[in-house]
Amino acid sequence: MKNHRILVVDDDKTNLQIVRDVLENSYDLQMAISGETALRFVAKRRPDLILMDLMMPGMDGKETMRRIRTEAANRDIPFIFLTASQNPEEEAACLSMGASDFITKPIVPSVLERRISRILELEDFHRDLQAKVEEKTRQYQELALESIFAIVNIIEAKDEITEGHSVRVAGYSIALARAMGYDEQRVDEVYQTGLLHDVGKIGIPDLILKKEGKLTSEEYGEIKEHTSIGGHILAAIETMGYLADGAKYHHEKFDGTGYPNGLKGKEIPEIGRIIAVADVFDALVSKRHYKEAMDVETAKQEILRGSGTQFDPEIVQVFLRLLDDGTIGRIRDQSIRRRMDAEASE
């Protein structure tokens, strides 16, 4: 079976015939008599390798290669140049342009065959390796996310009333991040950070977390500790160094009156300012041990009231836009639906 497709480009038909005689039993061949024809062939179907005459009238070999490679999908097609000249400088120039090899005419069949098969073997090996790396990366990311969700389950098992809070806060946070122009990799990081923002609650006694009614100032002081505890817990995950800031800084306030460090304005890491808005909104519209759920319109006014004092006013603006265009509502509905599905399947 012919596993590879080779495009041969040469303006001399005799040369094309010689190459055909050598290669046609082993490869799927396509012959082009000019650079222009080669460009058309490549546009229709990507070859696995291009064997190309260097000197051709009109578009020469180097120019043809340059044009073929402007297309991202074709950037890694290996090129072998064929030339009658024995010029080492020309050879060096072709190799430095990214050609894989350089063969001088007259063609020696066994040399041509071996060089082509060696390059194609390397290409296959490279593609294989790349596929394996991609698969491993995907597995690693999946494992990371599953581990994060396991931790989220620990956080939420401590207090059933906050069930779903982490997922919703993460959802609102990524909507904010996207609207603020984050790229998708950073959006993923924001999601993971949002999921874990309350991880420090693991270190707070249940009696305080679940207390109905007002906390004493001592108890409130203990609750505040969840930020530092969370930052400390997550600092141990060094390969995801971005995680800790969300847990640590989501209770800082824009005017500097928050905790744990009393940071002010843009001193507060942006992820802290993002999660702060997402977290408070979700807490307002949810039932808690010490209060009933607030309706969305009243919560919106609350967020607006905190703009510039509790929250970064720019982030509040983005959040209000996402509330008005229905994005926040959709995320909330989805998370409720997901939870109902999960309960139904238990």
| Cis omega (within 30 of 0) for bond into 260 | yes
Q: Which of residues 198 and 245 has its CB atom nearest to Fe ion in the complex?
A: 198
Based on CB atoms, which residue is closest to Fe ion, 10 or 198? 198
User: Which of 315, 227, 320 has its CA nearest to residue 274?
Assistant: 315
- Read off the amino acid at residue 82: L
Q: Are 116 and 23 in contact (CB under 8 A)?
A: yes
One-letter identity of residue 268: I
| Cα 294 from Cα 284, distance rounded (Å) | 6
DSSP state of 239: G
CA dist., res. 304 & res. 307, Å (int): 5
Residue among 83 and 192 whose Cβ is closer to Fe ion: 192
Q: Which is nearer to Fe ion, 189 or 198 (CB)?
A: 198
- Site residues for Fe ion, 308-337, by CB under 5 A, read none
**Taking a C-beta distance cutoff of 8 angstroms, is the pair 62, 91 a contact?**
no
Stretch 188-217 residues interacting with Fe ion (CB under 5 A): 198
Q: Smaller CB distance to Fe ion: residue 198 or 282?
A: 198
CB of 269 to Fe ion, least distance (A): 15
Query: Hey, is 8 helix, strand or coil?
Result: strand
Name the residue number minimizing CB distance to Fe ion. Answer: 198
Strands 79-83 and 101-104: parallel
Q: Tell me how far, at minimum, the Cβ of 298 lies from Fe ion, in Å.
A: 21
For Fe ion, the closer of residues 29 and 278 by Cβ is 278
Minimum distance of Fe ion from residue 250's CB (angstroms): 6
Min CB(4)–Fe ion separation in Å? 58
CB of 242 to Fe ion, least distance (A): 18
Number of amino acids touching Fe ion (CB under 5 A) = 1
Instruction: Give the C-alpha separation, 35 to 108, whole Å.
Output: 24
Q: From the CB of 324, what's the least distance to Fe ion, in Å?
A: 26
Whether a cis peptide bond, with omega within 30° of 0, leads into 57 is: no
Q: Rounded to whole angstroms, what are the CA distances from 43 to 54, 89, 124? A: 20, 31, 22
**CA neighbor of 302 nearest in space, from 329, 279, 334:** 279
Minimum distance from CB of 99 to Fe ion (Å)?
58
Report the residue number, 91 or 198, with the smaller CB distance to Fe ion.
198
Binding site for Fe ion (CB under 5 A): 198
